[in-house]
Amino acid sequence: MKTYLNDLRQKIIDAYIKREGSYRKLARKFDVSLSFVQTLINRYQDIGRIEPLPHGGGQKPKINDKHSEILQKLVVENNDATLEELCSLFESKTQIKVSRATMGRALQKLQITRKKNLPCERTRYG
């Protein structure tokens, strides 16, 4: 949702208090959505504030700092494992099921790289 400046919010509240029109007319007049006007006026009536609310925080990560050591050990012990294999190994150690994407992001965040032993590298002659 777009964040509007506090002076625009105050103008809408002032127009509402002066009864310059309905919610729909105020939305058209200030070129904002009807739901924004409704939410703004309801918040003003309930708590007396027009400032935007802070961000809610989002979802907590499944793999947190205390799991990073476990993950590092798994990668060291199984450096040839795929992301799916790491997910199942991680689940068996911690009982936390994660997706391949989550595992990939966690490895990137921890800056852990996995060394793959490719068949063509094993047969290469020096």
pLDDT, tens digit (0-9, with 9 covering 90-100), for 49-69: 999 888 888 888 888 888 888
Q: Are residues 73 and 31 in the same domain?
A: no
Q: What is the pLDDT of residue 122?
A: 54
Within-domain flag for 55: no
Domain count, the chain: 2
Within-domain flag for 54: no
Q: DSSP readout, the chain?
A: -PPPPHHHHHHHHHHHHTT-S-HHHHHHHHT--HHHHHHHHHHHHHHS--SPPPP---PPPSS-HHHHHHHHHHHHHTTT--HHHHHHHHHHHHS----HHHHHHHHHHTT-------HHHHS---
Q: What is the pLDDT of residue 37?
A: 96
16 falls in which pLDDT band (50, 70, 90)? very high
Within-domain flag for 20: yes
Range of the domain at 23: 6-47
Q: What is the pLDDT of residue 115?
A: 64
Q: Are residues 71 and 105 in the same domain?
A: yes
Closest CA to 16 of 27, 4, 2, 5: 27
Within-domain flag for 17: yes
> What does the pLDDT look like over 98-121, one tens digit per residue?
999 999 999 998 888 766 656 665
Q: How many CB atoms lie within 10 A of CB 98?
A: 22
124 falls in which pLDDT band (50, 70, 90)? low
Within-domain flag for 40: yes
Within-domain flag for 52: no
Within-domain flag for 69: yes
The pTM of this model reads 0.52
Within-domain flag for 60: no
Percent of the chain, pLDDT > 70? Answer: 88
3 falls in which pLDDT band (50, 70, 90)? confident
Compute the average pLDDT of residues 1-25: 91
